Each structure stands twice: as C-alpha cells, then as structure tokens.
Amino acid sequence: MQDPTASSRIAGFHKLGIPQRIDAVARFAGLDDADRQHLADTGNLPADLAGHLIENVIGTMNIPVGVATNMKIDGRDRLIPMATEESSVVAAVCNAARQCYENGGFTTSMSGTQMIAQIQLAGVPDPEHARIRILERREEIRALCDGCDPVLVRLGGGFRDLEVRVLGTRGGAMVITHLVVDTRDAMGANAVNTMAETLAPHIAAWTGGQTNLRILSNLADRRLARARCVWRLQDLGGAEVRDAMLAAYHFADADPYRAATHNKGIMNGISAVVLATGNDTRAVEAGAHAYAARGGRYASLTAWEVTHGGDLAGVIELPMAVGLIGGATKLHPTARLALRILGVASAEELARVIAAVGLAQNFSALKALATTGIQKGHMALHAHNIAMMAGATGDEIEPLARRLVALGTVRIDVAQAELAVLRG
C-alpha cells in the first residue's frame, strides 16, 4: 500500500544505482519483492544501457515486436519489424500488402534528407533590413554551420540553404532564420541544434537584435517520404468496396474530426516501425500532423483515386525524420536487429519503407471501416487481451478468446463468467 504522505523529494535520486532507485520507489509506492524483481528484469535491454539512454531509470517496458509480411517495396520484398501494443496493426499491414503484392506492391521516393533549424531573433527595430543583412551572410553562415560538423560534411551532408522570414507575432515582428541542412543518415537533431546555437550570437551581432530559441523544426518538409500503390479491383473485392473506401477517404479529407482518426490509423503503422528501429516517434508524429494541416485545415495524409482501369490508387506523402545513426537506433540491440531484418542501407531507404507501411495501414483501415467495420477483426485479437485480463492463463486463453468472439461480446464481465464455466 502506498503511503499518501510519502515525499517525492528524493535527494540525489539520479545519482543512485538502478537497484537503489528501485528500493526508493518501492518504499514510496509500497511495492513488494515480486514488484522489485519485475522492475529489475530489464529483458533484452541491458540495465546499464537503459541507464545511459534516459535519466532515473528503474526498469524497462517491453512492447511486442511483430513482423509485417507480404511487403514488396520498389520491387524488393521486405519483412517489416513493428513495435506496438495495439492488436490488428501488424495484421492490417500484412493484409494490405497481400492484396497489392501481385500488382507490384509499393513504389516510393523521397524529397531529400534535409532538416530545418530555426533561430528566433527579436528586438530589432528594422526587421526587413535585418532579414536582408542575414541573407547577405550566406557563405559565412555556410562556413559556420559546416564547421560544426566536419564528419557530416565528409559524408556528403552539411549546410544547404538559408531562409529568413519576418514573422508578425503578438510580441511584435520577429526575424526567423531557417538553416537547411542535409543530415544524411542521421535524424539530425543534434547536428542542426548545434549549428543553430553556434550561429545565434553571430546573427545577434549582425543585426543588433536578441536571439532567443535555437532549435530544429519537426515540420521536416524538406524530408518528405512518398509512397504510391495501386490495388486492382479484383484483389480488393470489387467496385462496391472501392467506392465505399473512396467515400471514406473523401470524408477524412473534408473533416478534421475524421482526419484525426484516419491519420491516427496511418501513424499506427508508421510509429510502430519508427519505434522498432529506435527512432523518435514523437518527432515523426509532430511532423506528420503539422504537415497534414499545411493547407490551413487539418486533412488526410493520404489521397485515394480511381485509375483509368477502375483500380484503386493510393498515395501518401509526409515528413519522415528518421536516421540510422545516433541515439537508440545505434545503441538499442533490438533496434539494431530490426534494421538488419529490414535490410535498409540508408535513412532515406528506411523513410521510404515507413511511408509504404503508412499507406498499407490506411488501405486496411479504410477497407475494414467501409465494409465489415473494424470490430470484427479487432475483436478476435482483443478477445485474447480480455481473456487474460479476466484471469485466463496458458491453455485457457485461446478457447476463452474464441468463446468470446463466438458470443459476439468481448467484455471483461462476460470473460470472467465464461472462464468460471471453462474451469467447471
């Protein structure tokens, strides 16, 4: 039992070793020995490594990694590792990919691997002049940026472009500088943040203003991943299904309430691959949703049309700031294995695969929603979770889950009653 008066002010908590932190948390929260052992078991992520990835570590959180089969991308078959706690997500990708496999699968492309860092400048009386003065320093800025990361430059990356805008804000006019930097196989946050921080004092000196924020933008619209695919009428189930799917897409594209759910489904697939490869799910999600609203209204990340031949064509385009080097991608043993299973040789290749997964996910969601509804497929898997929540273990789980599906009521109270029957 937790003592409600226990203090969360634990001096030096960050300096403790993991076992001592577990002790402190156990005292605070009233955890028993079994709880402590559970936390101490970090599975296939060594505790030491976990302790170096984030602060104040007391354990790890295992998420299932599934593999999506049937994916053919740019003529090559791929197995796609996906880390997700949500049932039906992996199955959805497999199903969509199976239905377009014979027609050639997915074709992908990418706009580039450029990230944007922003520098905020305020307090200049002549913002238009300041803007031009900054633009005049382009070559100096290039040298300063590239000087921050000679390794990146050696690998073919580095400063690419300079954009400066005068932004009207509630606090008056600000001058916003964008450093456009090719970060190649790195997601690039560290590289561009260092450049922005290095450059900021120079911008302040050149303009007489005050620089404030110096940070990347997650609206990585110089790093757009694209995928397209055609599902043949006979493979997807006929014109009625196709037209219902199209109507579902039209609804999403016209209505932000629906678009949020439509895009959430897309991100089910995308975030699962981003997570499995040790990349930053929040960065990709922020970029995706900001991009979905680029027209001034939040809309669909995919577009669906009927081809000349009457087949269903889908496309997706969204920012995809993922990397192969740096952070958890390089350090997390499961992420490294996921990348080997994927067999990608560059961040661009990874981004393109992820875009294809997003499109596949959307196809399956639209099809399920426009035909039988998602609960039928979802419930079969969900029934296993409910069976376990009701207390079923081992050999009891499967028959109980099947019974719940057969009854058409996948609910915890029904599961408990049925488990009692099963146990006689």
Q: Which residues are catalytic?
A: 86, 264, 280, 378
Q: At its nearest, how many Å lie between ligand MEV and the CB of residue 261?
A: 4
Q: Which of these segments, 57-65, 161-169, 227-235, 261-269, binds ligand MEV (CB under 6 A)?
A: 261-269
Q: Which of these segments, 53-61, 122-130, 173-181, 260-268, binds ligand MEV (CB under 6 A)?
A: 260-268
Residue 264 in contact with ligand MEV, rule: CB under 6 A:
yes
Q: Which of these segments, 95-103, 191-199, 211-219, 256-264, binds ligand MEV (CB under 6 A)?
A: 256-264
Residue 278 in contact with ligand MEV, rule: CB under 6 A:
no
Q: Which of these segments, 12-20, 57-65, 161-169, 257-265, binds ligand MEV (CB under 6 A)?
A: 257-265
Options 137, 262, 352, 382; binder of ligand MEV; rule CB under 6 A: 262
Shorter beta-carbon distance to ligand MEV: residue 114 or 263: 263
Residue 95 in contact with ligand MEV, rule: CB under 6 A:
no
Options 374, 380, 388, 412; binder of ligand MEV; rule CB under 6 A: 374
Options 124, 365, 383, 397; binder of ligand MEV; rule CB under 6 A: 365
Residue 376 in contact with ligand MEV, rule: CB under 6 A:
no
Residue 312 in contact with ligand MEV, rule: CB under 6 A:
no
Task: Give the closest residue to 130 by CA, choosing from 116, 140, 120.
Answer: 120
Residue 265 in contact with ligand MEV, rule: CB under 6 A:
yes
Q: At its nearest, how many Å lie between ligand MEV and the CB of residue 374?
A: 5
Which residue sits closest to ligand MEV, CB atoms considered? 265
- Contact residues toward ligand MEV (CB under 6 A) are 86, 261-262, 264-265, 268, 365, 369, 374
